[in-house]
Amino acid sequence: MTTIPRPKDWVMGINAYVPGKAATASGGPVAKLSSNENPLGQSAAARDAFAARAAGLDRYPDAAATALREAIAAPLGLDPARVIHGAGSDEVLNMAVGAYAGPGDEVIHVRYGFAMYEIATRRVGATPVVVPDKDYGTDVDAILAAVTDRTTLVFVANPNNPTGTYVARDEIARLHAGLRPDIMLVIDQAYAEYLAPEEDDGALELAKTADNVIVTRTFSKIYGLAGERIGWGYGPAAAIDAMHRIRGPFNVTTAGQSAAIAAVADTAFVEASRAHNDRWLAWLTAEIEALGNAGLRAVPSRGNFLLVLFEGRLSAEAAYHGLMDAGFIVRWLPGQGLGNGLRITIGTEDELRGLMAALRTLIDDAG
């Protein structure tokens, strides 16, 4: 009898992350509206800073990402020593779970949440606990009711992906106040920069003083640097220390660090991206709502994407394939229990107008 190395049971219990479909050549123009990327690209200054680093390819990056952490911290009034950098915020989420959960521990997240929470939880042998939503949004009471003696970490994304729903400041405060102090609350703010200043959920303020709050953010969304994999987290010194112990040693590239530093400084680009998103998210929401008699419904979103529910003759699955044939890649989410939903990233005006025209044709054809 031969024996072979056996992967851990908890690893084999993971369904690998399924990314949004890549924009491959299909014979026609392709609009990729499936991964919540920035349709305006990125700051020209970030692009220049990235290109300037081509000469240093043979050298390791700054392992501590000191200049990047200082650039992130200054405008937000944070302590740079408590900023931790990651290869995308995915790595920061993994580090948080790696530091605070293991076999026997429970990690809570909402039903319609980011797929990485479950993967990050299972990869350390901990148990994901999934709580029901309230109108597709985060239900603070359901989270608090799911806490047990074994709970060590709670994930909340604000705004949430893939629903776009948003938890107001008082609800975040209520959630935090209702958790035992030995439970780490991880507030994933990948889309926070799309919110107006008055919509700030207070998570960073909380993380400045609380011993059990970690906030994560990313350069992949409004900063348009998804290809470089740069994210960060902010938390209490003890948590940051623990997370550094399991961080990849040179986890953010030299060019990525430079691009991100330039991106933070270009506030005009961020403003323009937010204004574009506000305008076209509102437009797309209204367009979908106008198709209510065909059974389409938009979940009100504060992200750079819109979840559209298909409850009429045209199914989400048929719409997904039909839009793909017409050159529009969107995200169909059966793996997240949203077989009746498509998530559409806010693209350029042309992309969104084209997508709506294609969607109307599909509805007409479905009779």
Where on the chain is the footprint of ligand PMP (CB under 6 A)? 36, 88-90, 114, 157, 161, 188, 190, 218, 220, 226, 231
Those residues whose C-beta lies under 8 Å from the C-beta of residue 62, and which sit 6 or more positions away, are 68, 254, 257
- Residue 90 CB, nearest distance to ligand PMP (Å)? 3
Residue 36 vs 336, nearer CB to ligand PMP: 36
- Residue 138 CB, nearest distance to ligand PMP (Å)? 12
Residue 61 vs 233, nearer CB to ligand PMP: 233
Beta bridge partners of 198: none
Residue 73 vs 187, nearer CB to ligand PMP: 187
- Residue 167 CB, nearest distance to ligand PMP (Å)? 13
- Sheet holding 331-333: strands in order across? 296-299, 305-310, 338-345, 331-333
Give dist(CA 164, CA 341) in Å, integer: 13
Q: Is 260 helix (H, G, I), strand (E, B) or coil?
A: helix
Q: Which residue number is nearest to ligand PMP in terms of Cβ?
A: 88
Give dist(CA 267, CA 232) in Å, integer: 18
Residue 120 vs 358, nearer CB to ligand PMP: 120
Give dist(CA 109, CA 112) in Å, integer: 9
Beta bridge partners of 331: 343
Residue 19 vs 29, nearer CB to ligand PMP: 19
Those residues whose C-beta lies under 8 Å from the C-beta of residue 310, and which sit 6 or more positions away, are 295, 296, 316, 319, 340, 341, 342
- Residue 186 CB, nearest distance to ligand PMP (Å)? 10
- Residue 363 CB, nearest distance to ligand PMP (Å)? 28
- Residue 91 CB, nearest distance to ligand PMP (Å)? 7
CB 224 within 8 A of CB 37: yes
Residue 306 vs 359, nearer CB to ligand PMP: 306
Those residues whose C-beta lies under 8 Å from the C-beta of residue 51, and which sit 6 or more positions away, are none
